[in-house]
Structure formats: structure tokens, C-alpha cells
Structure 1
């Protein structure tokens, strides 16, 4: 259902870590460059975690860490809100959601109950619509698989119908006496018969 705030492994989680906005960066502290991490959970624009990187952070967000080490920037993965008709038509809502670090439908669907109030009126309905949209998208993959299976079964069915028609024609020819039932089109397998 909705993501709840939980404590797991010494970390407070506001929903899924996958939906969090995470950015690793360097900062000078007393003349020494150190690695820092910024963590923002979608819908919670008041709580921003900025701290020195702990070893656990590199395991908690390995893709972000690898991107940081290679000098790349990771953007939120998922279906962009700008392309979702539910939000795209309302520029104010889109701007408000991006201000709250919600960039994808997946992030919107993962907003915790505690952060719904930060989104504003209609937040629960919007999150429910996002979850429903993702469920439909997930099911559309199943539809594509079923369509491929249907196509394969249809081809097999057509082949079997053709074989049945060939056998029916052959049987009719045997019954009419125009074909010798013992005559075979294919060479026999095994040893050749003894010549007498």
C-alpha cells in the first residue's frame, strides 16, 4: 500500500530507498576534500540529509556511488511526470512536485504517508493514481507476453490445420482408390528388405 517510515538496519527509511534523491559530492573540510552525500526523500522537502559518506551508503545506493566515482550524474529512473497526462496539464502541480524532489511516477507512488501532507490537497488521490498507473504499466508487459504466446499458438494451429487437411485429402484418395495405402512417399527407415 503506502510506504511507511521504518527503522531498518539503523537507518530511518521514508518509503523505498530506490525513490530517494541521492547525490554524492566532494566538500572541503579544514582543507581536506571529503566525500559527502545528500539524501532527500520524495515529498519531504524539509528534511535534507547532508553528511559525510559512510561505508553503508555506498552499499545502500551502489548505482549512485559508481556514477559519482565515474563523474556521471544519475537522474531519477522511471516514467517522467512531464509525460504523465495526469500532471503534465497542470504546470503548477508539476512545478510543485519537482520542487519537492518528485520527478517520476515511481517516486510519486512511493511517497510515504507522512509526506503526503507536504504535497498538498489531493495528494492521497494523486499517489493512488500513480500506483494504479504503474500497476497498469506492469500488466501491459504481461499483455505483450500473452500476445506473443497467442501469435505462436496461432502459427502452430495453422500448421496443424494444414497437416489435417493434407491427411484428409490423402485419406479421401485412399478411399477413392486413387492412391495405394501401402505406397510411401518417404524412404523406409532401417534395413532394406531382403531380395528374393
Structure 2
């Protein structure tokens, strides 16, 4: 399942931040978004995920093929790790909870309430949701936040397995994941031009 952006312009708070973004990501490929904080990476990911409409252009990929993981882990503190993953498996229509626990070495924490986990453990549990989602296109915003080096390696292995199975991933990250096969796209060349101000507006700036 391919993901394509065609002359895509995206906005934050009604103000254009990126424009003219065009690419196609085929199955088995990964794309890493680079750019300084505030450059529009999160806004682009949210638009690709269908969570907000583009200003112009279009995104091509079935909505049911996409899954987004942002800064929030998306877990319920009162539920155990296993119960959280079972919940998301039911939401997405089924998924292998055991495989998700194993991928992020959470088997020993399966019956622990998520609220009693460390920040890194919660992040691993949040990322394990991707596996039970069973969707081809992963859209990930700073996925390795709160992860130590071994957990970051777990994540990289999980991404490689997803690509090998015919999935794809778009990731905004400043961390070197060791995914040498991934393409890199700097969003800076797509920075939107500042809107022209008339003289009246300038008098109040």
C-alpha cells in the first residue's frame, strides 16, 4: 500500500507552515523527516494521517491503512499492559497481543498497570500498539522519546520487521535509528512563504 502526497500544503493555527510537499512512499520503505523544532514535521504527519485537512493538495492512501503515534502514549493508566493492548486490538479489529509484548520485551510487565510503569516502559507499550493495529502505514512523531539505547534498538528492529512484511513508515525524529535503508527528507525547502502584510497591519507589529 503506497502513501503519496501531491503538492501538499499544511497549516498550523490557520497559518501555512509547509507547501508543495510531494512524495510517494512505496511498501517496504521508510521516510525520516528532518527539520528544527517548529518547522512543521508534526503538522505534516497529522495531515498525512488524516487528522487534519490540508490547505491544498491531497494525500493518497486508504484511511484504514494508516495509523498515527504522536507524543501521547495512548494508554490507560488503570489497565495492565496486556489489557491496554487487548483494548487497542479490539479497536483496530484484532492483532497479536503476545507478539506486541514480545517485540518490546514487555512480557514480564504484562500484568502491571500502565500507571505503575516508568516513562520508558509506557513509551514501549504505546509503540506496541502499532503491532496490534495491523495497519500498513505507520506515521510516527518522535517515536523514541523517553527510550534508552536498548529500547531504541527494539524499536528499530520492529520497524525493520514491519518494512520486511511490506509495511511502510514515516517518522519525524532527531535520533539516528541506524535505519540506513530509510530515505531522509528535510522539510526546510518546503517552508511556506510569509503572507504579505499591508501597511495597516505593519503599524501594529
User: TM-score with structure 1 length normalisation?
Assistant: 0.29
Q: Which has the higher contact order (CA 8 A, sep 6+)?
A: 2
Asked which structure has the greater CA Rg, the reply is 1
Q: Would you tell me which structure has more strand in proportion to its own residues?
A: 2
Q: Would you tell me which structure has more helix in proportion to its own residues?
A: 1
